């Protein structure tokens, strides 16, 4: 990374912080929602579906993290984690409501 003698511009630092938050918090949200959907929707016995959701969640956390730093801007980072989270949240919410009317 190029560093100027005077230090990095504030906008750059803010972008890094923003991406980091998107990755840490947004990624966690996304991973959790993936695990919820898997647990509720997989055609497996309850405990197995939950286990699968748990084990696979970290893969999605990883992918979210990578996305947040690979995409072109901090805005895209947030979009990339929040939009799928919204979809998964709706899906999971629906599945939960179906199971617990």
Partner 1 sequence: MKEGFRQAMAWLHTWTGLIFGWLLFAIFLTGTLSYFKDEVSHWAQPEVRRHALDPVASLGLAQRYLESNAAHSGSWMIRLPSEREAALNVGWRDPEGGRRGFVRKDLDAQSGQPVEARDSRGGDFFYRFHFELQMPYPWGRWLSTLCAFIMLLGLVTGIITHKKIFKEFFTFRPGKGQRSWLDGHNAIGVLVLPFHLMISYSSLVLFMYMVMPASIMASYGDTSGYFNDLFGRDEAPKVANVATPLVPLAGLYAKVQEQVPGARIGFIQVQNAGDRNARVTFTQSSADNVPYQRSANWTFEGATGELLKQGAPESATMMTAFSFAGLHMGNYAGPWLRWLYFAFGLAGTAVIGTGLVMWLGKRQLKHAKQERLPGELRLVEVLNIASMSGLILAVAGFFWANRLLPVALQGRADWEVNTFFLVWLAALLHAVLRPGRRAWGEQLALGALAFALLPLLNALSTGQGLNASVPAGDWAMAGFDLTALARGLFLAWAASKMLRPPKPAAKRAPKAAKVSPEMVEVQ
Residues that bind partner 1 (CB under 8 A): 1, 19, 31-33, 35-36, 38-40, 44-55, 57-58, 61-62, 65-66, 69-72, 92, 96
- Provide, rounded to whole angstroms, the least separation between the CB of residue 69 and partner 1: 5
Query: If DSSP codes are grouped into helix, strand and coil, which group holds residue 19?
Result: helix
- Provide, rounded to whole angstroms, the least separation between the CB of residue 8 and partner 1: 12
- Provide, rounded to whole angstroms, the least separation between the CB of residue 95 and partner 1: 8
CB burial readout 74-93, b (16+ within 10 A) else e: beebbebbeebbeebbeebe
Residue (21 or 49) nearer to partner 1, CB: 49
């Amino acid at each position: 990374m190029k560093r100027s003698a005077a230090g990095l511009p504030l906008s750059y630092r803010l972008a890094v912080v923003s991406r980091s938050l998107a990755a840490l918090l947004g990624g966690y949200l996304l991973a959790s929602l993936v695990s919820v959907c898997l647990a509720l929707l997989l055609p497996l016995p309850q405990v197995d579906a939950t286990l699968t959701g748990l084990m696979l969640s970290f893969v999605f956390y990883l992918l979210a993290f990578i996305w947040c730093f690979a995409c072109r801007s901090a805005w895209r980072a947030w979009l990339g984690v929040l939009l799928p989270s919204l979809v998964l949240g709706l899906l999971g919410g629906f599945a939960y409501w179906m199971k617990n009317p």
